Amino acid sequence: MPKPHTIALVAGAALLTRRALRRRVQASPLWPLPALDPPVSGRPRSQVLRLLLAGHETVADGVVQLRLEGRELPRWEPGAHLDLVLPSGLVRQYSLCGDPTDASSYTIAARLVENGRGGSREVHEQLAEGMELEVRGPRNRFPLVEAPSYVFIAGGIGITPVLPMLRALPDGTDWRLLYGGRTRASMPFLQEVRELAGDRLTVAAEDEDGRPDLAAVFAGTAEGTAVYCCGPEGLMEAVEARLPAGATLHLERFAPRASADGNREFELELRRSGRTLAVPADSTVLAAVRRELPGTAYSCEQGFCGTCQQRVLEGEVDHRDELLTDAERADSMLICVSRARSERLVLDL
């Protein structure tokens, strides 16, 4: 059995060795290693709540309304939305369309997308009253700004963020609304919209009236009018093209904006992993990364939820998301939708 003084000498030598090694590491030009900063992927972007699904009802052809109940819920303002975490793990974004003063429940509505990626079908067919669901938010990227007058243009389920705005407008406000859809039966909350808007409402059901007459809607638009539009991409593009001079445009998208420059192949370096790969023109950064790193986190694949956010170490990003702030875009990107403007990108992966 070793003597006590021998044990003490060995322990002391080990301590001195560790201290010397620590001094050598700290003196290294690579200390501290810059690539070992915490990655940004998966950071929670807002408060997580567990709410009771107290209502699940059909409010139009292909549209269900969900009422989620809780206690002392965070306040929200017209234009805000929630991230709904489905039992499958998918995350989908839905505009709040209830009463902002109600601190006990949130109301959202979802249209069934027949050829979608499964989220809306899960909402329609697998959610049931009594379930507990996780939500994140609320967040608002579509706020109602002060303006001398307003023009609201909603296509189908695009009425959901607009409806609370109409309720919030002070008496005497100059506003009008164009509400379009495939059929009247497919347009949620149509009766409530009629009661709110009266003769300020124009309804355009495509099967009866054809496409909306935007020229008529914009006729006589005053300087400084705020134009709010939410709906299919084709409708928003048409509104952008016909926007009157002097009006301001506010859009809420359901899908990432396409780039006018199109897509091209570029080189992608994954700095932590020591790998370099090509991102083809017909693929995404996320797809390319997951081929090398299958565990990379993602969810919505639309640039809305933020799950796939990654730090950018080098290169210029073509941001196509609807979520990141200007400050966040300075050094990170959502790899499900955004691409490179430069020939090469380096990610902290």
- Adjacent-strand bridge partners of 345: 268
Query: Taking the model in full, what pTM does it have?
Result: 0.76
Rounded average pLDDT per 10-residue block, the chain, 349 residues: 53 55 46 49 71 98 98 96 92 94 97 87 96 93 95 97 97 97 97 96 94 93 97 92 96 69 88 93 92 86 84 94 85 93 95
8 Å CB contact between 98 and 164: yes
Residue owning tokens 């950064």: 285
Check residue 34 and give its pLDDT: 42
Fill in the amino acid letter for 199: D
| Terminal C-alpha separation, the chain | 50
The pLDDT assigned to 30 comes to 39
Which residue in the block uniquely carries the two structure tokens 């990610």?
347
Burial 52-61 (b: 16+ CB within 10 A, else e): ebeebeeebe
For the CA atoms of 149, 153, 158, 163, the dihedral, rounded to the nearest 10 degrees, stands at 40
Residue 25: predicted pLDDT: 41
Q: What is the pLDDT of residue 326?
A: 85
DSSP-derived pairing of the beta strands 63-69 and 309-314: unpaired
pLDDT of the residue at 20: 54
Spatial distance between the Cα atoms of 75 and 137, rounded to a whole number of angstroms: 10
Distances (CA, A) of 314 to 26, 34, 263, 332, 345: 26, 13, 19, 10, 6
Report the pLDDT value the prediction gives residue 29, as an integer from 0 to 100.
40
Query: What pLDDT, on a 0 to 100 scale, did the predictor assign at position 44?
Result: 55
